[in-house]
Amino acid sequence: MFKLLKSRFSLLLITLSTSAAALSGQPVAVAFALIHEGKSSATIGLVLGLLSLVFVLSLLVGGIAGDRFGRSRVVKLASLIRIFGTLLSITSLHSGKGIFLFAVSVAVVSFANGVFMPNITGMVLDVSRGAELAKANGMRGVVEALGTSYGPAAVGIVVAFLKPEAGLAMIELFLVICTLSLFAMKYKSTVSKELHEGIGHQLRVGFVALKAKKWCWTIIAGYALMHLLAFPAFYVLGPILSQRHLGGARSWGIILGLQGLGSIVGSLSATRYRFRHPLRFTVALSFLGSSVFFALGSTFNLEIIAGAALLTGFAFGQFQVVWETFLQLSFPVDVLSRVSSYDWMGSSSLFPVGQVATGIAATLIAPQSIVLFAGVVVVAISSVLLSVGDVWGAKAPLSMRGYVGSGVESNL
């Protein structure tokens, strides 16, 4: 694994960690900025839903642009836009120019996030080789989990002791470090062979490639339903319940921080253990991933909720490493950004609807009841996914099982 810690890959790890810190810290800063302004749960859900909608709509833009013009160029431009948008959001809050300008500025950041994210899968593949790929994805999972751990925790603590704009300033710092390391990293991106084809053709090629893998689109569909019916309850109502019963932003930052810590452990374990049917194992771990919903919905004990968040982070951290490696070894490298964008878009496209609906529902139904329902949804969808033959029987490529040789399946 230490062979991966070369200059270029080390810079990529810094980029991914700080980007994850900024991405996961943004909802915390936005939610508590709106709470600070006295906004209702419906307004919070609406704004967070708007950000997620912009993110989803920009995913295909990022996937096409990355394959067409090179991932390196696209992520650098997106990083600069994120810095500008965050700076504008700080200015809008500090000057008291209203929630509208604030929402627009953070939407700009969400757009750039959507352009940035589909290119990460291909970037890891670009700078790692052969049998090191699973370990590279594991290290990616670790540093991103670190980012999702220290990012929300830092933002939550800063907001608790200072003001919401101070939390946004922390996010700006993460983005500046991310961009500097990204520009310092030099490598040649893989460019699509269909450079002279139209955008419609490129989209069709990516979609056909994904459609041919039933295990792939089935899991994407399952996670789309989780993003509609389960995950919004945690991210919309979690800050509200924390503010009412757990002491506010500091407690919420601790919960998200421990969830990130669990992701680190899950990512590390995914690089160590080899399974013949890894999707079967990682989807089953989603049952463990439901624990934070049941804890948040049934108690106001911070220790219990934080412990459950740790377990949830472990489950989804393990899944993410296995999933990314499966994608990289199952699709041609020159369509990988498009496949990744369909993955991101398909799985998260209903998240904005869920956020808005959850915010409105919380004005009519007790928030804890909604969170408990979300836990039931995670268990039910995971059970359905495990009953699908292509998911249950999907076999790991030889390189994911620890075998290296001339017959190893690989895109490299």
Torsion region of 248: left, alpha or beta (phi above 0 gives left; psi -120 to 50 gives alpha): left
Tokens of 101: 């300008």
Q: Do the domain assignments include residue 392?
A: yes
Q: Do the domain assignments include residue 344?
A: yes
| Vertex 257: Cα angle to 284 and 10 (nearest 5) | 90
Residue with tokens 């609406």, as numbered in its chain: 46
Nearest-CA neighbor of 20 among 183, 175, 231?
175
The predicted-structure confidence for 222-233, as pLDDT tens digits, reads as follows 888 998 888 888
Q: Do the domain assignments include residue 191?
A: no
The predicted-structure confidence for 128-181, as pLDDT tens digits, reads as follows 655 466 677 777 777 887 887 788 778 877 877 777 778 888 888 999 999 998
What lies within 8 Å, CB to CB, of 180 at 6+ separation is none
Q: Do the domain assignments include residue 107?
A: yes
The predicted-structure confidence for 112-126, as pLDDT tens digits, reads as follows 988 888 787 777 777
Q: How many domains does the structure of the chain reveal?
A: 1
Q: Do the domain assignments include residue 74?
A: yes
Q: Do the domain assignments include residue 15?
A: yes
Parent domain of 204: 7-186+199-401
Of the two residues 225 and 286, the one the predictor is more confident about is: 225
- Angle, helices 367-386 vs 291-298, to 10°: value is 160
For the whole model, what pTM was predicted? 0.64
For the domain that residue 268 is a member of, what is the CATH number?
1.20.1250.20
Q: 230 with 378: CB under 8 angstroms?
A: yes
3-class SS string, 376-392: HHHHHHHHHHHCCHHHH
Residue 336 one-letter amino acid:
L
**pLDDT at residue 410, rounded to an integer:** 34
Q: Do the domain assignments include residue 78?
A: yes
In eight-state DSSP terms, residue 188 is P
Print burial letters for 354-388: b (CB count within 10 Å at least 16), e (below 16). bbbbbbebbeeeebbebbbbbbebbeebbeebbeb
Q: How confident is the model at residue 407 (pLDDT cuts 50, 70, 90)?
A: very low
Q: Do the domain assignments include residue 192?
A: no
